[in-house]
A and B are shown apart, each in its own frame.
Chain A
Amino acid sequence: NAGVTQTPKFQVLKTGQSMTLQCAQDMNHEYMSWYRQDPGMGLRLIHYSVGAGITDQGEVPNGYNVSRSTTEDFPLRLLSAAPSQTSVYFCASSYSGGGVETQYFGPGTRLLVL
């Protein structure tokens, strides 16, 4: 199993550009989520999904869109990038069976918005 994969690893954008951060998991997990990591602030939840076709907002959703058409994929879209979106983005997946839910994280995408 590849686990949770993210592409690209690093991206530079100009203000106003759009892009999609890709996330895929091959563990057949029900739940997927996106976090951003900023210095001194830990990780903050952007959006999450409890299954294909079902998404909801987390703590910091503004400026980001998500959709989940398949169990495996959960892309994060920035429609008009802003410097405040410079961050490291982590995708995670988890499932509900077998005891305490445990999250598995991808390696991250480092985004710089100029």
Chain B
Amino acid sequence: GAVVSQHPSWVICKSGTSVKIECRSLDFQATTMFWYRQFPKQSLMLMATSNEGSKATYEQGVEKDKFLINHASLTLSTLTVTSAHPEDSSFYICSVSAVWGINTEAFFGQGTRLTVV
């Protein structure tokens, strides 16, 4: 299946600073990638759809100016959390969907744990 790698795996930043998270599709060219956020003991919440070469599509309630998404190549999407605050502390996960055999599977990165202090 597709291999998706996120970097960094964890990051601690000061309130008010910006943090960039990278999502790489190592062996698959992805025109579309997805970004999720997951709070402790909760489910994954889709934040936005990252589209290669065009603007991301954000889910309702997600601030596009707060969470900047760039998908400049078929193998890399980045999520930048701008002016981070403690309430932005969460587990951020990206995914790529690919046809694998007879199924369409979503392949997820290992996630990035962001802690804002």
Real binding pair: no
User: Which positions in B face A, CB cutoff 8 Å?
Assistant: none
